[in-house]
Structure 1
Amino acid sequence: MQNPAKITVLLKGYPRLSETFIAQELLGLEKAGFELELVAMRRPTDKKRHPVHDEIKAPVHYLPEYLHEEPLRVLKALGKACRLPGFGKMLRQFFKDLPRDFSRNRFRRLGQAMVLVAEWPGKAEWLHAHFIHTPASVAFYASLLSGMGWSVSAHAKDIWTSKDWDLADKLAHVDWAVTCTRVGYEQLSALAKDRRAEDRKVVHLSYHGLDLQRFPHFEGARSRRDGSDVHDPVRILSVGRAVKKKGYDVLLHALAKLPSELNWAFTHIGGGDELAKLKALADQLHIADRITWKGAMDQRDVLTHYRESDVFTLACRITADGDRDGLPNVLVEAASQGLMAVSTTVSGISELFVNGENGLLVAPDDPVVLADALQNAIRNPDLRHQLGAAAEQKVRQDFDYQNSIRDLTVLFNRSLGQ
């Protein structure tokens, strides 16, 4: 690359503890030679940061989260926007969208797009949005207003809780989109069918993967705990936000169904709106004394827990509004340490694990079958070691994040004419 290409990356919030995969990608792009300007739609709410956030050099800018909080900034942006050639094109798209989504949110995205263009950071040459729902709405309007090319990374909730018309409109105008699971790729590809006559693909599949230098092979010995020792219970770990799609209520019911003679201790790492309800549920199920709620932790502390635990579990589900995980990064992280996982068949999880070969997978929303799988893992240390080793081999072979950085480098360079 003769001159570093500069890209504006639009994020919903930054930094966020739950989105290490995005931070890892940003750092990887910088190391690949791109210069980044980060723009976030929300200011951070997490009190901690991962080490990777401090290694990213890109400056961070914040759009007004709510337009009424910065009215002069929005009016100034409107004054600049209405003089741009793309103003009419942006408004036509907005008024096309408005009857289908008549909400304050729709007006907010329009205002944020105008502020983004009016204050365009660092003379960047390209706009890339993370998440194809609200950040991509801002990017779409900003592209129409400015004439700037744009691309998008789609993940999980943003795909499955968006309306098909909304996704199809964005896919009809975006230069390219990338997503991190096969099931997401197939969904977006079907919605981009009107562009199949073009010479090149619009939707691309690229797994996030891990920075394996941050998750080196664990040289220590895995324990042979089998649940028989009251003084040395099997250590069960889960890492994830306490939200409905993670299925923690199902997991607690499954833990409560384990035979009384089995000795286990469960540790949860993560924040989330459902924590208070889950703690109350644990009390009702009479298992609260076996559970430790750690709250949010940085990546180094989480790595220590992976290495000290015996079983990793995540009871992912599809919620009533269609929300679901893609391939939770924590499952890849746990597997990188040879820690066997018990999870569900939701979305992209089956793209990493094969039941009985490198993990145990069950149907979602079924605490009985989940309890059976957990019991199997607790009682059989040899099985845990065998499946955990196979999972680690899969991760180190197929889930190195450098593969994703290479994919993105090709796509960005093509768009930027490098």
Structure 2
Amino acid sequence: MSPHRKIAVVLKGYPRLSETFIAQELLGLERAGHELVLVALRRPTDRKRHPVHDEIRAEVHYLPEYLHDEPWRVFRALLRTAPRAGFWRALGPFLRDLRRDRTRNRVRRFGQALVLVAEWPGDARWLHAHFIHTPASVTAYASLMAGVPWTCSAHAKDIWTSSDWELSEKLGGARWTVTCTRTGFEHLSSLAEEKSRVHLSYHGLDLDRFPVFEGNHSKRDGSDPADPVRIVSVGRAVAKKGYDVLLKALSLLPAQLHWRFDHIGAGDLTKELRAMAGNLGIADRVRWDGALDQKDVLARYRESDVFALACRIASDGDRDGLPNVLVEASSQRLACVSTAVSGVPELIEHGRNGVVVPPEDPSALAKALEQLIRDPDLRQRLGSAAEERVRSDFDHHSSVRQLSELFRDEWSKAS
């Protein structure tokens, strides 16, 4: 790949345990011959890393997370950038945006773009943003300043918590935008002046890291107090994951059923959820594991009986796209129950390869869990169908190949 086509990928934070789908995409692009440099708006806060992060060769550059933390760095960037014509190209759009969004965050995005352009990472000749909210704002301003084209990957929260005017303008400024669910694709397409610039590309899964499970899931049916059915969930303890709904559903299960619930993931609501489990009288059946790396998560899928995730649309509009953990669990023949939110029904067809219930309905979720707990044969049938779906339709090589073709099409037009 020509060094003149090096891609600077702008990320909200890197590395992040909750964004394995981004890491595997970055690695896939490198393996496809693309030269990358990573630009993160935040330094890592997770204490662990996934193995995939250690395999990515790209250098990582960090912009100031808050402008007041590194004022001289920002001031130097302003002095270096202001004399250039690109600064004035970007200033007008920034001021228009600021009139519609009078927030410190808006100013921070412009300041981060100044630093990005002043400290330009090597010979990168393309900008690509992961997430169409904050990272895409920084990228769009930097694109104008540097005169370098940009593209975008949109996901979930970034789509649904952004205003329509901002999405529409970013879709018009980017050469193309990909998104990972049909619901997101349809929403973005409705806002794009040129609909051909919006593409649907499911993340898929690196099946080399989630190989076929050669063992068998248990025949537990909840009747043995010494060997309870194991229910697992992987996700951050945040509102959109619906863990309060899941805990309520677990508390509604019949007293004679024996089960254990393991939660894997960190998050701001962990303390509150722990207290809730205690108030519901199920604390002794719930284990809070915190964040685990990918190998440990894989092992937990294989020793569990049911995967549960009660996705919801949060009060601020935030929601999941297609949670990658559902794809991971399905790849291990684990029966999944989730909710009819965003892209979940695009993977799980109710009664065929999993169970889908309405969001915000603990009673319906409890009934689904009870059915799966009591019926190991049903779990086996659903899990097998789920694995077949993932291995036929959700191989991440397809999404990497699609991205590579999109990049190369743009470059062929420019040459």
Query: TM-score, normalised to structure 1's length?
Result: 0.98
In 1: Cα distance, 2:314 partner to 2:302 partner: 31
Q: Which runs of 5+ in 1 are unaligned?
A: none
> Partner of 2:94 in structure 1?
94
Shift of 1:3: 5.8
Q: Is the Cα contact below 8 Å between 2:90 and 2:141 reproduced in 1?
A: yes
Shift of 1:4: 7.7
Letter in 2 for 1:258: L
- Alignment match of 1:308 (pick from 291, 303, 308): 303
Matched, 1:265 2:260: yes
Secondary structure class of the residue paired with 2:151? strand
Matched, 1:243 2:247: no
Secondary structure class of the residue paired with 2:44? coil
- Alignment match of 1:218 (pick from 178, 197, 213): 213
Letter in 2 for 1:396: R
Letter in 2 for 1:166: E
Secondary structure class of the residue paired with 2:227? coil
- Give the root-mean-square deviation of aligned CA atoms: 0.9
Matched, 1:390 2:365: no
Secondary structure class of the residue paired with 2:141? helix
> Partner of 2:174 in structure 1?
174
Deviations 1:103-161 (A, max 9, x none): 10010000000110111101101000000000000001011111110000000000000
* Correspondence 1:53-64 to 2 at 5 A: 53-64=53-64
> Partner of 2:51 in structure 1?
51
In 2: Cα distance, 1:83 partner to 1:171 partner: 28
- Structure 1 moving runs of 4+ over 4 Å: 1-4
In 2: Cα distance, 1:151 partner to 1:14 partner: 19
Matched, 1:106 2:106: yes
In 2: Cα distance, 1:337 partner to 1:227 partner: 21
Q: Is the Cα contact below 8 Å between 2:3 and 2:124 reproduced in 1?
A: no
> Partner of 2:140 in structure 1?
140
In 2: Cα distance, 1:41 partner to 1:221 partner: 43
Q: Is the Cα contact below 8 Å between 2:4 and 2:123 reproduced in 1?
A: no
Q: Is the Cα contact below 8 Å between 2:222 and 2:228 reproduced in 1?
A: yes
Paired residues, number: 413
> Partner of 1:372 in structure 2?
367
Matched, 1:341 2:340: no
Q: Is the Cα contact below 8 Å between 1:4 and 1:35 reproduced in 2?
A: no
> Partner of 1:205 in structure 2?
200
Deviations 1:158-198 (A, max 9, x none): 00000001101111111000000000000001110x224xx
Shift of 1:2: 5.9
Secondary structure class of the residue paired with 1:347? coil
In 2: Cα distance, 1:79 partner to 1:415 partner: 33
In 1: Cα distance, 2:200 partner to 2:4 partner: 25
> Partner of 1:402 in structure 2?
397
Identify which range, 258-267 or 2-11, moves more after superposition. 2-11
Secondary structure class of the residue paired with 1:403? helix
In 2: Cα distance, 1:368 partner to 1:234 partner: 19
Q: Is the Cα contact below 8 Å between 2:5 and 2:35 reproduced in 1?
A: yes
Letter in 1 for 2:245: V
Secondary structure class of the residue paired with 2:12? strand
Identity across the alignment (%): 65
Query: TM-score, normalised to structure 2's length?
Result: 0.98
In 1: Cα distance, 2:283 partner to 2:371 partner: 22
* Correspondence 1:280-299 to 2 at 5 A: 280-299=275-294
